Chains A and B, each alone.
Chain A
């Protein structure tokens, strides 16, 4: 069900859309922060729970519940950290927000800080995103000049400061504890949990880490009321509320980022939003929300005969007709992730696609845990051997073993992020892998760009 909304995207494309002037004029900018600062922090958190915003960074954890984990510490300050380390292949939504609507992020930070009892928010941005950093700093400066940030925001005595912090090129820093290490000036290696960031996060203090889109959504949701916002979603009954940014990329005619109410199906995203598959080719497969979410084949059918299963209403239908939600995608054995789908047209070599992704994961492993460091490299080497017709069937089975032995044996979820897509490609395209082993296919004819080059 496509329901376009424009809480975040209304200022996209408007002249100086990123400025304070446009933000205040077009979307009642900073009214929500004013409203929040007149409420009690507990009321703000309660309202946040009603929004049913499931974290937009990939894990899908309910934002309001995360905020409620924050308890005041007798001696230590609290921090709000915003994760804008967007680096998952296939994910391209947060960058549009930072470039076009940085004030929504800053206003979200004010509300978030107040709700969780923090006075400082750090926005952790990839260093590569120079325009994003410039726009965010610009927004902070403008808000400060107006007295919306600083010692007395809107004349209250609740000081709030917002800073932009940058990494230096490491995908792992999108993992929240690795991000905290990087913020503290260390190597971006993930930490063991517990303690969770709400107990010991940035600089050893209670910390909430929210995705950038998650926090940017808060002002609009607060203004309209948490419950009303949640009910925009077709999956409100699954506590997956509101609206979100959807991305579509890969083999579609019009790759883009759009804002829609939650509950759009993959078919709608690919054909109605993305304009259909490039060259009107048949659809081979789709990676629903970033490269770590296991691939779905276009010919897969929902198998949920149990009436109590969340996916039962779609039993027997194509996976392309299931609404995109945190729980529905979990039910399909994949994940919603960041809700930016990568489309593969018929003719794309799935083995070559897997090799590309395994090269990424091998490069980006922080190296701390052996199963991830060695296993990731092993997966890449083996899939390369398969493509070069140098592997046997035993090695194809080895791939399953290696991937399974990474899962659950590492400090952070990067290991699963490597193993799950590998297993997805292996299980769903077994015949393609076997064809290389038997020498029926060669790398020379494998392609990622079927038909004509773009």
Chain B
């Protein structure tokens, strides 16, 4: 089934187009808009974006594969990213990640069997002063302890 944006998002798309001198400029924001609705960037989404912005399919495909945050396959309802890079690692990112893996019963990069949580590692989220930290969907959780991690995961998996 061909992909289409909801009426609200369609309006947002029109507004985005006014910000750039070229249609291509809207490519990344529009892909975000689509992913927001669809959860991931499917073939249909790529076709839709290419068609809407007059871009070759290969261009949109190239953009999607370049950026880490575009999901190229379906993901869980919630996204959990644990920052693993040095400043966080110095303050306990390793134990936080291990704890998440144990609690969720999956490895980083996987989704729980019930489809609720996808666990991933992140490369530096600009939160080094409040390490260790993790991002859950659009929210930052900082200065983590394992107890705090438990509370957060409890809420997600309930």
Binding site for B on A (CB under 8 A): 77, 86-92, 94-95, 126-131, 163, 165-171, 182-189, 203, 247-251, 255-257, 287, 291, 340, 342-344, 348, 353, 356-357, 360, 363-364, 366, 448-449, 453-454
Q: Is the CB of B26 within 8 A of A249?
A: no
Chain A positions within 8 Å of B66 at CB level:
170, 187-189, 366
Closest-by-CB residue of B relative to A86 is: B126
B86-122 interface with A by 8 A CB criterion: 86-87, 89-92, 94-95, 122
The answer on a CB contact under 8 Å between A186 and B24 is yes
Shortest CB distance B147–A (Å): 13
Q: For A95, what are the chain B residues with a Cβ–Cβ distance below 8 Å?
A: 126-127
The winner among B55, B84, B123, B138 for most chain A CB atoms within 10 A is B123
| CB <8 Å contact, B94 and A167 | no
Q: Are B68 and A182 in contact, CB atoms less than 8 angstroms apart?
A: no
Contact B28 A168 (CB under 8 A): yes
Contact (Cβ within 8 A) A94 B126: yes
Least CB distance, B59 to chain A, in whole angstroms: 8
Contacts of A130 in B (CB 8 A): 138-139
Contact partners of A364 in chain B: CB under 8 A: 123
B92 and A127 within 8 A (CB): no
21 pairs from A and B in contact (CB 8 Å cutoff): A89-B123, A129-B126, A130-B139, A131-B140, A168-B69, A169-B67, A169-B69, A183-B25, A185-B28, A188-B66, A249-B90, A250-B90, A251-B90, A255-B91, A255-B129, A291-B85, A342-B128, A357-B86, A363-B123, A366-B66, A449-B90
Q: How far is the CA of A288 from the CA of B89 in the complex (A)?
A: 17
Known contacts: A166-B28, A185-B24. The answer to whether A171 contacts B124 by CB under 8 A is: yes
Is B87 touching A90 in the complex (CB atoms < 8 A)?
Answer: yes
Interface magnitude class on chain B: 35 or more
Q: Do B26 and A89 touch (CB < 8 A)?
A: no
Chain A residues whose CB sits within 8 angstroms of the CB of B139 once the complex forms? 130
The answer to whether B89 and A448 have CB atoms under 8 Å apart is yes
CB atoms of B125 and A291 under 8 A apart: no
Evaluate contact between B126 and A87: CB separation under 8 angstroms.
Answer: yes
The one of A127, A188, A247 that contacts B128, using a Cβ cutoff of 8 Å: A247
Contact flags (1/0) for B59-78 with A, using CB distance below 8 Å?
10011001111100000000
Asked if B22 lies at the interface with its beta carbon under 8 angstroms from chain A, I say yes
B135 at the interface (CB under 8 A from A): yes
Among the interface residues A91, A128, A171, A255, which one has the most CB atoms of the partner chain B within 10 A? A128
Shortest Cβ distance from B53 into A: residue: A185
B9 at the A interface (CB under 8 A): no
With a CB–CB cut-off of 8 A, which chain A residues contact B32?
Answer: 127, 166, 168
Please give 10 more A-B residue pairs, beta carbons under 8 A apart, in addition to A128-B135, A250-B90, A357-B86: A89-B87, A90-B124, A91-B124, A94-B126, A166-B28, A189-B66, A249-B129, A250-B86, A291-B85, A360-B124
CB closest residue in chain B, given A343: B90
Q: Does any Cβ of A come within 8 Å of B27's Cβ? A: yes
Is B25's CB under 8 angstroms from A92's CB?
no
Interface contact A168-B91, CB-CB below 8 Å = no
CA distance A95 to B83 in the complex (A): 16
Collect the chain A residues with CB atoms within 8 Å of residue B125's CB. 128
Verify B128–A360 contact, CB threshold 8 A.
no
Query: CB of B130 within 8 A of chain A?
Result: yes
List B contacts of A454 (CB < 8 A): 91-92, 132
Name the distance in Å between B114's Cβ and chain A's nearest Cβ: 25
On chain A, the residues within 8 Å of B128 by CB distance are 89-92, 247, 249-250, 255, 340, 342
Interface residues of B in 30-44 (CB under 8 A from A): 31-32
Q: How far is the CA of A360 from the CA of B89 in the complex (A)?
A: 12
